[in-house]
Chain A
Amino acid sequence: MKVTVKSWTGVATWRWIANDDNCGICRMPFDSCCPDCKLPGDDCPLVWGACSHCFHIHCIVKWLHSQPQQQCPMCRQDWKFNNK
């Protein structure tokens, strides 16, 4: 071996994988945060429903609280958090 690798320091960035660019409720980009938050990232995470639609967690929770029925605002299916 001419050269051996002793150690490696990796640097990577992460971003959300979502099927849309903007949150369907607040219309803000997923890379940004919901209107009530100041900083995007771990403090303002995204959630996915069983119907595969994706929102800021704060937005969908607010929506579900204001509705009599627990439905996805995009497809009107019953809303279930996708925990996979």
Chain B
Amino acid sequence: MSLKPQEVNFDETWSKLKETVEGVVGLQAIERAVWNSRFSDVYALCVAHPEPHADKLYDETRKFLEEHVFRLLDRVKATAFLDSTDYNDGLLNRYVMAWREYSQGVAYLNSLYSYLNLQHIKRQKVSDADIIYGSSAAISFLEHDARQLEVGELGLVIWERVLIKPLSNPMTARIVRALNDARESNPDPAAADILKTAIHSMVEVQSFRLRTPLSLYQQLVVEPFLTSAAAHHSRRAAELLNSGDVSYFMKYVLDGLAREIVLGNKFLHSSSSEAVRACYEQACVASHLPALHAEVERLLKEACEDSPKAAERREDLKRMFMLLKPLGQNAMRPLIEAAHVQAAKEGHAMLAAEHSKDEAHTHFVHSMLSLHSKYKKLFAEVFGGAQPFIGALDKACSEVVNSRAEGESAARAPELLSRYCDTLLRRKGSERDADDKLTAAIVVFKYIDDKDVFQKHYARALARRLIHQLSASMEQEEAMINRLKAACGYEFTNKLHRMFTDVAVSTDLNTKFQQYLRENNLATNTGFFIQVLQAGAWPLGGAMAPLAPPAQLERPARLFETFYRASFSGRRLAWLHHLCTGELRTRYTQRLYHINATTPQCALLLMFETTDSIRAREARETLQLPEEAWARHVRPLVEAGLLISKGDVEGADEEAELLLNLTFTCKRTKIRLTCAAAPASQGGTGPGAGTSSESTHCDDDRKMYLQAAVVRIMKQRKVLRHTELIQEVVSQARGSFAPSVAMIKKCIEALIDKQYLERSPGNLDTYSYLA
């Protein structure tokens, strides 16, 4: 055959073509030769000479398809009673059969007409670009039949118009009814398949549309279904709530949800699964929120108890969480709130539990740790470790940790925790155990608001451990400081690091000193070890009043001073006698005792060399100790039984005497005399003693910190509003303490007085930086 345009008799060719078209649409067998020649006929008609018959062909085809679909409509309708909702009356069956045949047929027809589609219709088609960027006038074409469509699409449009429109109501009614029934009992596979095909035909019929391809499906299937489903769900939820308690309700609602999702996936288009779920949640959960929320507190409380019911309640909570989670923050809030309250309540109860006063620190840390791990585990199990609940736990923990007892000005947490660490770091026990415990202590540490107070306590305890060499191991000390550094940053621990450096330098210094002694043929007569610390880096307070060291000790001290002056110019040494310790051996007793005592105590004992009794006043004057320090040093000697007091030796009693206990006995051969608790300003941690000066000291530090923060921020920003400034300061300070707004305001005032800042003229809530 020739491809050249020829004169074609339209009527003749069309009648031939029409026959084949009928066959194709009816899915009858067509011979290949016939197909091929009809294919050419379509071509010939489209390129006919002198007039192409394309438009005519299109119109005739349309007319034919319309008639064909009308016939199908009659077949589908058959005897069905259109107002009925009985989906087994065969209407759906016949519809699906007709649809299968027709949709397939039209698809074939589309290929038969591919020349017409390609050459004639594509040219008129609106491109994607037109749809997105083109004028609305061009797009409005889409909605009208006037525009020519590809033959396959034409077939679908005709199907929608001719067959679906008149049947839409009966179809919808049957589909909705069938879906509702499918929820209760599974339909047999054949019926299910028919239902599914019928529903999906609504999607396919419009699948070629570029805009709103799902509108028919939405209108005929989804919307009616959701309306009826919502009614059904509400009824069911109300029934459930009436017939049982909340746990029962949640269990069935969750089951129902799963079934509803399966139903949706099985029969509906994938685009509507969200809507189905949302509809269910709205009807069953969202409208019964108050009933659910009312139970939250009880469930949580019971889930946390050690009762056989707890596991069940946890299951309940898990369900509750699954139900509430998709509804967003507002629905969850009461649950989160209740979790917070429950954890905080239990925490307070744990802390208030009976415990001995000496073990307050262990009790505190262990309670907090068990609280934290218990709820962490619970929330992970029940709420899948969801962020809001972890947040609630954190909030509850920090609330409990920082709670203060009535009448206390500050929380005791920092002190207790540092005491806990101190005990662990001193103990020479199984190292592994201590390491784990210290790591756990960091958990509690993170919740402490007053980290700066903790730092002070910790530094003091560390100083004591380092000076008296009480640490279990240096590695452990270092590891702990690194943990603190990881939690709180370099600034927080650099003072602690400096203490370590000093200890290392001192060891070095001792070696050098011994060498110096050897080289100069000098000797100290006694064992000698010294620690030279940098003033300011250690929380030790000022040097003590000058003490005349006893002759035996004076020599090494003087030797060392000479050595030190020669090695380091420009430095002055100050002895901290209350921290120096001497080791003595008694010779007047039956057994030999080793006594470890502070320098003044050594000096006092050495005074008994020539006599067995000394007047207290005399001794004190020889030692040049102030009254308060004298009492602190004498008391342990008396308490240990080494000295016997006659009269009030600590007070101002002129006649009071100290006697050496010549019949001293003790079970141990090593006796360690500690210096009784010194006031806080001198490095002691007497409970109660000096806490007020402690807190003012801390307050001063905080003020300096805040002022520095304000200046830093203002220097960078130049001009800043009051509220923003406060916010920034708070966020900077949070690492070490929680500042009060009043305190920040005071600091800003102070800086304005010092002319670092000024209030911007005319804009009173704004500050500007003065360079």
Contacts and interface: CB of A to CB of B under 8 A. Distances in A.
Asked if A and B are interacting partners, one says yes
A48 B572 CA distance: 15
B157 to A, nearest CB: 80
By CB atoms of chain B within 10 A, which of A9, A18, A38 has the most?
A9
Interface stretch (B45-53, B474-482, B577-585, B743-751): B577-585
A3 interface: yes
Interface string A1-17: 11111111111111111
B531 A6 contact: no
Contacts of B537: 40-41
Contacts of A50: none
A62 interface: no
B583 A6 contact: yes
B760 interface: no
Nearest to A31: B536
B644 interface: no
Contacts of B248: none
Contacts of A16: 570-572
Nearest to A13: B535
B485 to A, nearest CB: 14
Contact of B528 (A2, A3, A4, A8): A8
A13 B609 contact: no
A42 interface: yes
A76 interface: no
B526 A5 contact: yes
A84 interface: yes
Contacts of A48: 569-570
Contacts, number: 139
Given A2-B588, A3-B584, A41-B498, A9 B530 contact: yes
Nearest to A11: B579
B605 interface: yes
Interface residues of A, number: 28
A39 interface: yes
Nearest to B502: A41
Interface in B68-89: none
A2 to B, nearest CB: 4
B580 A7 contact: no
B552 interface: yes
A7 to B, nearest CB: 3
Contacts of A1: 587, 609
Interface string B490-506: 00001000100100010
Interface in B529-578: 529-538, 540, 543, 550, 552-553, 556-557, 560, 564, 568-576
9 contacts: A1-B609, A8-B553, A10-B530, A10-B560, A11-B467, A11-B533, A12-B576, A15-B574, A84-B569
Leading 6 A-B pairs by shortest Cβ distance:
A7-B527, A11-B579, A13-B535, A10-B530, A15-B535, A2-B588
